[in-house]
Structure 1
Amino acid sequence: MSNQEAILTLSSGFSFDYNNLYGQGFVTRADIENIADRLTAAHKAVNHMRATGEVRGHLSKDGVPEKVLFSQLPYVEPGNLNTPSSIARLKEFGQSLKNKVDAVISFGIGGSYLGNKVLFDVHCGEFWNSKSKEQRQGYPKLYFSGNNIDPRRTTELVALILHEANSKTVHADACKAKTTSEPYKVLLIVISKSGSTLDTMSNFMVAYDALKKEAPAIAVEVVAVTDPAEKANETLLHKLAAQEGWPMFSVPDGVGGRFSVFSEVGLVTAACIGFDIDAFLAGAQAMDKVCQTEDIWQNPAMLNAALKYLAAENYGRDIEVFMPYGDYLKSVAEWYIQLLAESLGKRTDREGREVFYGRTPIVAVGTTDMHAQTQQHQDGKKNKVVQFVKVGKWATDPVIPDVFPSAAKLSQISGFPLSQALDAAREANAAALKNDGRFNATFVLPEMNAYHLGELLYLLALSVAYEGELANVDAFDQPGVEAYKRLLGPLLRSLK
């Protein structure tokens, strides 16, 4: 396969252009052939995971065998984690909010925030909360909290809700309506498998307490997303929700937070904004089916994993810059940071030998970071793979007008759509890196929609499963996270 052929395009139009990552001066066919047996073994292991949920050597944080079930999520079938009835319940929940709830605040951290933010950004964009209810088609405003412990932002978010509630009352008074029958309705969605997540629960309790005190001007409802187990294994949040009568959705067993965007953890946010859940899961399912082939050149997840693994191991490219060309795809890069860091940043291999494996992930965005980071990418150490994401066709695409014809330099950049200027910048960046032997590749989404987003996120999730096998590390545990948690508990108790 020559460099000119190094593009894998799926029937959906989604493509992986690895011309600048494979071939002379980059990862070679010989590199791929040298790990052929390991690729075969990795593919068998991933297929075994799909069929049984079993991953060799994987244990839960409590040290007991634990299934890995994220690859089941795209398939909406009776008996699966996502069932026809669970998806129908999510949709009914979303419909129940329309024209009835003014604002939703989603409390979560890690996978309980990052994936949800991706769905919000791609579907809603930056200005959703500034739009009228009619422009939002009756869906509520949506805010995020609990993803960091920040006294100022939490206080300001509560103040904003109070201000909006007051504005609604003032508007109702001006219209001579009965204000007491129309409180400002706020739904708090609290997402925590255990119910003791410090960042999430501390912000939730502050907001819950402050807003409840504003009754009857503000009506507060709560939905809990937590471990569904009852009785002996019941979590703190599950017990609290049952006591308070809060509706519940599930954080499923066998699905780590960084893979949970395809479960009710992420889909509950999708329901709140009218995001196309069916198309999103269909895109993920289509990608999963494509990746069931053992032919590496037709399996984008295995190919992506192998090229990135070899770039790091054979050529020292142990930093990955994830660089989408689109403002609303920045959160995809932030989601990927957690996925890559927690899945592959491992001290030991499966035999307990210290290997200190993993690439350091970095977020970058289009032309923003061509100005801010590309100096380092282009002239700094040759230790990086730059992964671009391109949108093929934009829903709206203004043509740059020639409004200052007397200014020659401005006139030269007029007359073509913004998307063409954006992609010209990406092409120039990719070519400059390639010309200096700097590894890069491009994922192309035909459009920025739910289906193609499902394809991309699932490809990345499955890629880390393949790479974990190639590197002989457990891609599904996170022992390093537990290290600080063991120290944090006593520190918090000492504050009492």
Structure 2
Amino acid sequence: MKKITLSSGFSFDYTNIMMDGGVVQQDIEESFERIANAVKASERVRRSGVVDGHLSKDGEPEAVLFPQLPYIEEGNINSPAVLHRLEALGKHAQAEIDAVVSFGIGGSYLGGKVLFDVHCGEFWNSMSAEERNQYPRLYFSGNNVDGDRTEALIDQLCREAQAKGGNYKVMLIVISKSGSTIEPMSNFMVVEQGLREAGIDYEVIAVTDPHEGEKETLLHGLAVEKNWPIFSVPDGVGGRFSVFTEVGLIIGAVTGFAIREFLDGAKSMDEACQTGIVTENPALMNALLKYIAAEKYGRNIEIMMPYGDNLKSLSEWYVQLLAESLGKEQKDGSRYGRTPVVAVGTTDMHAQTQEHQEGRYNKIVSFVRIAKGKSDLGVPHIYDTYSKLAAFSGLPLHTIMNTALEANAEALTSDNRFNCTVELPQLNAFHLGEIMFMYCWAIFYEGQLAGVDAFNQPGVEVYKKLLGPKLAAHKEDK
């Protein structure tokens, strides 16, 4: 078995990549120079924030600061004052707010959605205030420009206000570094107007670029003018890494998520990822094997498949992290990229596994397994007269789910289908911080191995330059 296990119980099992017909030791040895350079680059970015060749979208040198995020220290992005302010906002939401609407897209949505799903679960908004420990309901908006859904959200807030019969208050959290991002800003304005027309009390929190003066953004200026509290979208941290900043942590704050434990988990993983010994560094090994699998073995599609409904958003977050970071032109002018696909077990064993098992040999399946579930709910012995139902009666549902993962992995391996498994001892804030920060470092290392800038996204700017004039043309037609 080929596996890296940390003292926390976190493990990365890559046996089914380095199997017969898979990546071999010689592949790793041939990559020693690339590995050494990637490790040196990681040491440099930790020390100085410098990544060779990285420029902002304006063509200016830009620091890369995600390595400091787990450390709550003076002078860091997550300083003690920042954490205290987030916690104070959480207490305010707990005491005064009935519903929160978060407006964000990309990293301003996906990271916070993971925290919400893991901590709150699917039925949070249906629970009583007592069951939520007085924390507010929470809705996401601004991650699309779907008018039907936005109107339905306004209707829902109006129903809640009417049902309470008075003293109902909404918090609108609008997240945009520039303040001109179309999806969150358009939805924010529509919902704010809807609340005004309905006579519903609300307050606004702006999460935006913190700079004032010449560098002040539209949203920052609007927040100052309206006297809205301002939280930061910090410099040096791309949106896909921002779950560890106020951008994502603010969602944790208003739902009672254990922010400090989450950052402690990220810190634990960061310490594990500082070694240059590839067999001891889960992020480096993860990156190396997937890079080799893509470049030498043609496995350039990654199926991200956690087992558990509340982890589907983790897969969606990872898709952005991978796609925006690595789908790039390499330094030698060639192209690099691996296509990520969202999946969740066991659901997609009945939707995608046929393709994984018998389609082209171009995929690697990344499983995420939770060793111990929160629930011990088991299948009762009520239909044991039916042998096919008796076969799994008496078993905990979590055991059935993890056994299905094992069967899926074994089936794939039997036909030389690359797969690997990350296991968390249990699903909590600490271990969530571990896995998410491991993937942040894995993306950094893979960018170095592939010779791409993992921290820009020039491809996204192409459609943005086209969208503005097209929208202006629609206004002229009216």
- Say if 1:57 and 1:350, in contact at 8 Å, map to a contact too: no
Q: Any residues of structure 2 matched to 1:398-437 within 5 Å, and which?
A: 398-437=377-416
AA matched with 1:344: L
SS at match of 2:117: helix
Give the CA deviation at 1:356.
1.9
Q: 223, 232, 253: which is aligned to 1:241?
A: 223
**Structure 1 residues 253-292: Cα deviation after superposition (integer angstroms, max 9, x where no partner):** 0000000000000000000000000100000011011110
Which digits, 9 at most, give the CA deviation of each residue in 1:140-191, with x for residues without a partner?
A: 000000000101000000011011111111xxxxxxxxx4xx2x10000000
The structure 2 residue matched to 1:211, chosen from 184, 187, 195, is: 195
* Secondary structure of residue in 2 paired with 1:159: helix
| DSSP 3-state at the match of 2:158 | helix
1:36 match: 32
Opposite residue 458 of structure 2, the aligned amino acid is P
Question: Shift in Å at residue 23 of structure 1?
Answer: 3.5
Higher mean displacement: 131-140 or 96-105: 96-105
Determine if contact 1:7/1:16 at 8 Å carries over to the other structure: yes
Instruction: Tell me which stretches of 4 or more aligned residues in structure 1 moved more than 6 Å.
Output: none
Q: How do 1:198-277 and structure 2 match up within 5 A? A: 198-215=182-199, 218-277=200-259
Question: Deviation at 1:24?
Answer: 2.6
Percent identity between the two aligned chains: 58
Q: Is the 8 A contact 1:319 1:384 kept in 2?
A: yes
CA separation in 2, counterparts of 1:16 and 1:397?
25
**Separation (CA, whole Å) in 2 of partners of 1:334 and 1:412:** 34
SS of corresponding position for 2:346: helix
Bigger drift between 364-373 and 398-407 goes to 398-407
* Cα deviation code 1:287-316 (max 9, x no counterpart): 011110010000000000000000000100
**Partner residue in 2 for 1:386:** 365
1:350 aligned to 328, 331, 335, which one? Answer: 331
Q: Distance in 1 between matches of 2:368 and 2:375?
A: 18
Residue type of the alignment partner of 1:341: A
Out of 367, 375, 389, the residue aligned to residue 354 of structure 2 is: 375
Show the counterpart of 2:267: 285
CA distance in 1 between counterparts of 2:376 and 2:238 reads: 38
Q: What is the CA–CA distance in structure 1 between the aligned matches of 2:26 and 2:352, rounded to whole Å? A: 32
Q: Which amino acid aligns with 1:210?
A: G
Distance in 2 between residues matched to 1:310 and 1:212, nearest whole Å:
56
Tell whether the 8 Å contact from 1:464 to 1:475 is kept in structure 2 after alignment: yes
Q: Which letter maps to 1:146?
A: G
Letter in 1 for 2:189: M
Q: How far 1:400 sits from its partner (Å)?
A: 1.1
Mapped to 1, the partners of 2:376 and 2:464 lie a distance apart of 47
TM-score (norm 1): 0.95
Specify the alignment match of 1:87 in structure 2: 83
Measured in 1, the distance between the counterparts of 2:266 and 2:132 equals 26
CA distance in structure 2 between the aligned counterparts of 1:480 and 1:428, rounded to whole angstroms: 39
- 1:7 Cα offset (Å): 1.0
Alignment-derived partner of residue 362 in structure 1: 341
- How many residues in Structure 1 have an aligned counterpart in Structure 2? 475
Contact 2:265 2:431 in 1 (8 A): yes
Instruction: Supply the distance in 2 between the matched residues of 1:494 and 1:350 (Cα, whole angstroms).
Output: 38
| CA distance in 2 between partners of 1:204 and 1:305 (Å) | 38
What is the letter of the counterpart of residue 376 of structure 1? E
CA contact (8 A) 1:99 1:133 kept: no
Letter in 1 for 2:395: F
C-alpha deviation, 1:97, in angstroms: 1.1
Q: Does the 8 Å CA contact 1:23/1:29 hold for their aligned counterparts? A: no
Q: CA deviation at 1:407?
A: 1.2
1:16-53 Cα deviation digits (max 9, x unpaired):
01110114311111000001011001010011111111
Deviation at 1:416, TM superposition (A): 1.5
Give the CA deviation at 1:99. 3.4
Equivalences for 1:450-469 in 2 at 5 Å?
450-469=429-448
* Distance in 2, Cα, partners of 1:494 & 1:31: 54
CA distance in 2, matches of 1:420, 1:213: 51
Letter in 1 for 2:193: D
Alignment counterpart, residue 485 of structure 1, candidates 461, 464, 468: 464
Q: Is 1:439 aligned to 2:390, yes or no?
A: no
SS across alignment from 2:305: strand
Counterpart Cα distance in 1 of 2:85 and 2:95: 18
Q: What is the DSSP-based 3-state SS (H/G/I as helix, E as strand, rest coil) of the residue aligned with 1:320?
A: strand
Which one-letter code corresponds to 1:494 in the other structure? A
Q: Is contact 2:384–2:393 with CA below 8 Å preserved after alignment?
A: no
The CA distance in 2 between the partners of 1:397 and 1:252, in whole Å, is 41
Q: What is the deviation of 1:231? A: 0.7
C-alpha separation in 1, matches of 2:459 and 2:197: 40
User: TM-score of the superposition, structure 2-length normalised?
Assistant: 0.99
1:159-170 equivalence runs, <5 A: 159-169=155-165
Does the CA contact (< 8 Å) of 1:323 and 1:387 recur in 2? Answer: yes
CA drift of 1:213 comes to 2.0
Does residue 474 (structure 1) correspond to residue 453 (structure 2)? The answer is yes
The DSSP-based 3-state class of the residue aligned with 1:494 is helix
Aligned equivalent of 2:10: 14
**Conserved in 2, the CA contact under 8 Å of 1:20 and 1:440?**
yes
Indicate the RMSD between aligned Cα atoms, in angstroms: 0.7
Matches within 5 A, 1:36-55: 36-55=32-51
- Structure 1: how far apart are the matches of 2:127 and 2:388? 36
Q: Which amino acid aligns with 1:332?
A: L
Q: Give the match's secondary structure for 2:140.
A: strand
Distance between the aligned counterparts of 1:115 and 1:303, measured in 2? 24
